């Protein structure tokens, strides 16, 4: 995927670019708002990682607003040290698709930006999701693996739906907390792990191949090998 | 000089008062003048009318001779010399009266004329009425209205004197106001000076009279108290950062330096770095929590208040934490009314209850229960989370919500001692309190929040929240 990184801190930018390229993406970098806007409007990107406080007369919010005003809907993830709740709300209101605060873990950034870029490509509403031999019917809200029907609680269904929509991608605990429960804080208790392991009991335990994998120090991934 | 005097607010105020008083005195006198004139005119007209009636009667009884005689005697007995009579015969010659000639303007009967006439060498204002007598005679009856002049002089004098008085009073008022202003302002500015030079305990003196100046002094003092509390908070936070963040930073630094000096393999180095990164993540979390708490304490989040039902919010949290509790052999129960209307910040209430549940699950022994119990009275909602753990020793209860405070029993569990501080801040933002009680055994942490209807009128409500409360109230009514 082609990803644009607009970040003025050289070390942070270098770290992100290296990580993105290692993960197999094409990453471009600009160090100020003006160049960032120029790059974003003159080239096609799958996602943009945008710092909020930028030199060059135009800050991250300004870049995003101008981009959206031009009808450009490339998914944008803010990456900012401005961590107050209102900052986050302002960023999302201006048209940002995600908001990650500094300092950040690279695994979190990668998982989120990949999810964003994928979402940008998704076409139309789906009624059926499939990962390997696991199938989910969104209309009848039923799940089956091979021929066997699997009964899920409503919240487990939402959790599995989220994982299936992000199949093949790393999904972090924070993403699950935000995407499935709509919580924007980090509980100290390992609440997410417990829910995922319960889901795993239902969709993986009775079968010989596992679909739901734990990715060390990052999160989870649902994939058919 | 004039400009300098005018610069005093007291002088400007007094001058303003003098102007207003002067204008109202002038208006009053104008009204008196106009109504006085009206009364006088009516009296004059009535006198003319009565005179004319009497004279007509004389003519009827005694003919022209009797009329002329009566006129002569009336002129003689008129001490003020303000009555004017004139009789013309059919040829137009003057036959009786005290006016030299018939005024040209007075031509019709049944109408009052007010004109100037020359009598005894003086021009005087007078009112006249013409009557036609039988046999072609014409009678003119009039009155001088010189008493109006006297009234005008009187009122002008009154006006002049009252202006002098108003002038004197406003000078006195200006001096008094200037003094009063000066005293108040100098007290406030002395206090401000003292505070800006470092004496934060100084307050504006209150006279105890309960007047506007006292109220202003109280407002200023309240503001200073609030600023002081905020500054205490900032001081606490910076102290806390200085002391309590040193520990994890020291740990991370030691790990990295140790790895740099002693790591024998890439594997060892990597694991040391990973652990240092997770230490740094911990420090980040502390920063985040501290910022969040001060954001809440500053009241900045009140703008996000909405009407919400806490019941589904609690059901979701029970669902989220229930699994983790069961994993540890605990049962998490919720008992609450079916609807819990409230006014607040959804995210913060979620986080506050989540913090209480984190604590309860962390400190609960296995095979026990953690209970969420919500009770409502007429004006408060009590949201309690109770565990069966060791509880908080009585001596620690008052300090349990301080930043970074960790009880003896909590020393060996993960955490930073910020959870309850945040819960308390959320409670206070919503106009409520956090109460910690010994449930014997265990701890009962209760969020006491004002009911939505109370909060609407309370100081905890923002303008936006009040507006929403208003629409709901009208929907109910």
pLDDT single digits (tens) B352-408: 999 999 999 988 888 889 999 999 988 899 999 999 988 888 878 877 887 777 777
Contact across the interface for B350 and A185, Cβ inside 8 Å? yes
Q: Which CATH number fits domain B300-476: 3.30.565.10, 2.160.10.10, 3.30.365.10, 3.40.50.2000?
A: 3.30.565.10
Give one DSSP letter per residue of B281-342, joined into a string. HHHHHHHHHHHHHHHHHTTGGGGG-EEEEHHHHHHHHHHHHHHHHHHTT-EEEEE--S--EE
pLDDT at B477 over 60: no
Closest-approach residue (CA) in chain A for B295: A84
Write down the residue that tokens 């209205």 correspond to. Answer: B145
CA nearest to B294, candidates B246, B351, B231, B357: B231
Query: Angle at the Cα of A135 (from A132 to A139), degrees rounded to 5?
Result: 155
User: Would you say B265 and B230 are in contact if contact means Cβ atoms under 8 Å apart?
Assistant: no
B383 bridge partner residues: B374, B447
Query: What are the chain A neighbours of B344 within 8 Å (beta carbons)?
Result: none
- Whether the link from the prior residue into A103 is cis, omega within 30° of 0, is yes
Average pLDDT over residues B406-432: 82
Query: Angle at the Cα of A45 (from A44 to A46), degrees rounded to 5?
Result: 130
Instruction: Decide: residue B437, CB within 10 A, 0-12 exposed, 13-18 middle, 19+ buried.
Output: middle
Query: What confidence category does residue B458 fall into, taking pLDDT thresholds of 50, 70 and 90?
Result: very low
A134-137 and A128-131 beta bridge pairing = antiparallel
CATH of region B2-154: 3.30.450.20
Give me the pLDDT at residue B1, please: 63
Query: What confidence category does residue B471 fall into, taking pLDDT thresholds of 50, 70 and 90?
Result: very low
User: Would you say B56 and B131 are in contact if contact means Cβ atoms under 8 Å apart?
Assistant: yes
A30 bridge partner residues: A6
Give one DSSP letter per residue of B405-457, joined into a string. ---GGGTTSS--S-HHHHHHHHHHHTT-EEEEEE-SSSEEEEEEEE-HHHHHH
Instruction: Select the residue of A86, A105, A155 nearest B319 (Cβ to Cβ).
Output: A155
Mean pLDDT, chain A, integer: 91
Using alpha carbons, list the distances in angstroms from residue B419 to A32, B359, B434.
Answer: 39, 8, 12
User: Would you say B49 and B128 are in contact if contact means Cβ atoms under 8 Å apart?
Assistant: no
Window 138-167 of A, Cβ < 8 Å to B: 155
Window 236-295 of B, Cβ < 8 Å to A: 274, 280-281, 284-285, 288, 291-292, 295
List Cβ neighbours of A165 (8 Å cut-off, separation of 6 or more).
A129
Whole-angstrom Cα distance, residue A221 to residue A167?
A: 7
Whole-angstrom Cα distance, residue A111 to residue B315?
A: 29
Residue B427 region, left (φ>0) first, then alpha (ψ -120 to 50), else beta? alpha
Give me the pLDDT at residue A123, please: 60
Query: What confidence category does residue A23 fall into, taking pLDDT thresholds of 50, 70 and 90?
Result: very high
Whole-angstrom Cα distance, residue B432 to residue B143?
A: 85
- Nearest-neighbour CA in chain A from B352: distance (Å): 10
CA nearest to B140, candidates B65, B67, B63, B78: B67
Give me the pLDDT at residue A108, please: 92
Contact across the interface for A85 and B347, Cβ inside 8 Å? yes
Range from A61-70, B70-79, B296-305 that averages highest in pLDDT:
A61-70
Query: What are the chain A neighbours of B426 within 8 Å (beta carbons)?
Result: none
Rg value, chain A, Cα:
19
Q: At what angle do helices A106-121 and A173-180 cross, to 10 degrees?
A: 50
Give me the pLDDT at residue B453, please: 58
Give me the pLDDT at residue B457, please: 42
Domain residue extents for chain B: 2-154, 300-476
pLDDT in tens, B188-226: 888 889 888 888 888 888 888 888 888 888 898 888 888
pLDDT at B442 over 50: yes
Instruction: Select the residue of B285, B295, B324 nearest A190 (Cβ to Cβ).
Output: B324
Domains along chain A with CATH numbers: 2-121 (3.40.50.2300), 128-222 (1.10.10.10)
User: Would you say A168 and A220 are in contact if contact means Cβ atoms under 8 Å apart?
Assistant: no
A171-172 and A219-222 beta bridge pairing = antiparallel
A2-6 and A26-30 beta bridge pairing = parallel
Instruction: Decide: residue B435, CB within 10 A, 0-12 exposed, 13-18 middle, 19+ buried.
Output: middle
- Nearest-neighbour CA in chain B from A100: distance (Å): 13
B448 bridge partner residues: B382, B433
Contact across the interface for B300 and A183, Cβ inside 8 Å? no
User: Would you say B162 and B54 are in contact if contact means Cβ atoms under 8 Å apart?
Assistant: no
CA nearest to B418, candidates B440, B434, B403: B403
A47-51 and A98-101 beta bridge pairing = unpaired
Rg value, chain B, Cα:
47
- Nearest-neighbour CA in chain A from B353: distance (Å): 10
Give me the pLDDT at residue A152, please: 93
Give me the pLDDT at residue A198, please: 93
pLDDT at A25 over 90: yes
- Residue B200 in tokens: 């934060």
Query: What confidence category does residue A124 fall into, taking pLDDT thresholds of 50, 70 and 90?
Result: low
CA nearest to B293, candidates B214, B351, B206, B358: B351
User: Would you say B117 and B127 are in contact if contact means Cβ atoms under 8 Å apart?
Assistant: no
Instruction: Between B412 and B69, name the one with better pLDDT.
Output: B69
Contact across the interface for A83 and B291, Cβ inside 8 Å? yes
Write down the residue that tokens 């005195």 correspond to. Answer: B25
**How many CB contacts within 8 angstroms connect chain A with chain B?**
58
Give all strands of the β-sheet with A26-30 in edge-to-edge order.
Answer: A26-30, A2-6, A47-51, A76-80, A98-101
pLDDT at B326 over 70: yes
- Of the candidate ranges A28-32, A121-125, B26-30, B195-199, the one whose mean pLDDT is the lowest: A121-125
């Amino acid at each position: 995927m082609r990803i644009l990184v607009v970040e003025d801190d050289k070390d942070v930018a270098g770290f992100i670019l290296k990580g993105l390229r290692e993960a197999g993406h094409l990453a471009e970098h600009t160090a100020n708002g003006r160049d960032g806007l120029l790059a974003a409007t003159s080239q096609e990107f799958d996602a943009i990682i945008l710092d909020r406080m930028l030199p060059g007369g135009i800050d991250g919010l300004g870049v995003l607003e101008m981009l959206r005003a031009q009808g450009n809907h490339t998914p944008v993830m803010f990456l900012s040290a401005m961590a107050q709740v209102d900052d986050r709300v302002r960023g999302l209101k201006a048209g940002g698709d995600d908001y990650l605060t500094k300092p950040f873990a690279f695994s979190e950034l990668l998982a989120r930006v990949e999810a964003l870029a994928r979402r940008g490509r998704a076409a139309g509403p789906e009624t059926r999701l499939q990962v390997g031999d696991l199938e989910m019917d969104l209309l009848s809200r039923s799940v089956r693996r091979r021929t066997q029907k699997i009964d899920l609680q409503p919240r487990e269904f939402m959790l599995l739906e989220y994982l299936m929509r992000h199949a093949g991608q790393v999904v972090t605990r924070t993403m699950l907390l935000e995407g499935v429960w709509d919580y924007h804080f980090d509980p100290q208790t390992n609440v997410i792990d417990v829910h995922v392991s319960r889901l795993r009991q239902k969709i993986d335990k009775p079968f010989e191949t596992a679909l739901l994998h734990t990715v060390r120090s990052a999160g989870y991934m649902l994939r058919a090998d | 000089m004039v400009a300098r005097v005018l610069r005093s607010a007291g002088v400007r105020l007094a001058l303003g008062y003098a102007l207003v008083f002067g204008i109202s005195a002038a208006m009053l006198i104008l009204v008196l003048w106009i109504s006085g004139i009206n009364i006088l005119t009516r009296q004059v007209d009535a006198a003319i009318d009565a005179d004319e009636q009497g004279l007509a009667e004389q003519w009827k009884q005694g003919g022209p001779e009797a009329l002329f005689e009566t006129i002569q005697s009336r002129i003689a007995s008129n001490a003020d010399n303000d009555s004017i009579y004139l009789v013309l015969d059919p040829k137009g010659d003057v036959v009786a009266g005290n006016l030299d000639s018939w005024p040209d303007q007075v031509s019709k009967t049944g109408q009052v004329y007010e004109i100037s006439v020359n009598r005894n060498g003086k021009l005087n204002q007078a009112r006249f009425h013409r009557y036609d007598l039988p046999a072609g005679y014409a009678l003119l009856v009039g009155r001088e209205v010189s008493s109006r002049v006297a009234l005008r002089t009187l009122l002008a004098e009154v006006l002049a004197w009252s202006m002098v008085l108003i002038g004197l009073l406003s000078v006195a008022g200006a001096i008094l106001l200037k003094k009063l202003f000066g005293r108040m302002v100098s007290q406030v500015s002395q206090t401000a000076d003292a505070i800006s030079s470092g004496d934060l305990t100084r307050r504006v003196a209150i006279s105890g009279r309960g007047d506007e100046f006292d109220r202003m002094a109280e407002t200023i003092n309240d503001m200073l108290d609030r600023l002081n509390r905020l500054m205490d908070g900032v001081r606490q936070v910076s102290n806390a950062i200085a002391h309590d963040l040193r520990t994890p930073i020291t740990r991370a630094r030691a790990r990295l330096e140790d790895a740099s000096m002693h790591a024998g393999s890439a594997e060892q180095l990597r694991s040391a770095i990973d652990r240092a990164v997770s230490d740094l993540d911990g420090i980040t979390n502390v920063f985040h929590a501290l910022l969040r708490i001060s954001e809440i304490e500053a009241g900045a989040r009140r703008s996000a208040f909405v009407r919400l039902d806490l019941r589904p919010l609690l059901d979701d949290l029970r669902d989220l934490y229930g699994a983790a509790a069961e994993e540890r052999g605990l049962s998490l129960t919720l008992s609450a009314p079916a609807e819990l209307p409230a006014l607040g910040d959804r995210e913060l209430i979620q986080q506050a209850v989540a913090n209480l549940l984190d604590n309860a699950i962390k400190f609960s022994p296995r095979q026990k229960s953690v209970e969420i119990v919500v009770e409502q009275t007429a004006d408060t909602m009590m949201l309690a989370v109770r565990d069966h753990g060791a509880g908080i020793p009585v001596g620690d209860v008052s300090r349990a919500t301080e930043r970074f405070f960790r009880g003896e029993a909590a020393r060996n569990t993960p955490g930073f001692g910020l959870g309850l501080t945040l819960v308390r801040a959320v409670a206070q933002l919503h106009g409520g309190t956090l109460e910690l009680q010994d449930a014997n055994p265990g701890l009962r942490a209760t969020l006491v929040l004002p009911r939505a209807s109370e909060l609407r009128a309370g100081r905890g409500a923002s303008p936006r929240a009040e507006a929403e409360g208003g629409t709901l109230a009208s929907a109910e009514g």
